[in-house]
């Protein structure tokens, strides 16, 4: 995946894949490992949260279409590595929150 072409969106605009679409995946270990890493990545990348949730919904019956959905998220992450929330130590323990609601 190091030489993949980046894309602009983490999820496809087509209807969601169901548990009946596509061919079953025999070895799900790699899929589950990558899905877990993507779940961890959503801490600093909330823009991929929905797409990762859709990928993780099918852990019990993995199909090739779900694998393609996960690859799409990886392509998106590849092209948007500069988009993330910066987490760093603060000089004080005061919490600051910002809101644009009325």
Q: Determine the 3-state secondary structure of 15 from DSSP.
A: coil
Q: pLDDT digit string (tens) for 20-70?
A: 777 887 778 888 888 899 999 888 888 899 999 988 888 887 888 888 888
Burial of 71 (0-12, 13-18, 19+ CB in 10 A): middle
3-state helix, strand, coil in the chain (%, to 5): 40, 0, 60
Q: Name the pTM for this structure.
A: 0.74
Q: How far is CA 6 from CA 1, 10, 59, 82, in A?
A: 10, 10, 25, 13
């Amino acid at each position: 995946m190091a030489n993949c072409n980046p894309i602009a969106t983490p999820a496809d605009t087509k209807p969601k894949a169901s548990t009946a679409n596509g061919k079953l995946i025999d070895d799900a270990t790699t899929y589950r490992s990558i899905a877990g890493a993507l779940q961890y990545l959503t801490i600093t990348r909330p823009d991929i949260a929905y797409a990762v949730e859709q990928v993780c919904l099918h852990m019990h019956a993995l199909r090739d279409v779900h694998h393609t959905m996960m690859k799409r998220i990886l392509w998106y992450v590849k092209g948007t590595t500069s988009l993330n929330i910066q987490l760093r130590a603060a000089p004080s323990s005061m919490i600051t929150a910002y809101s644009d609601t009325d």
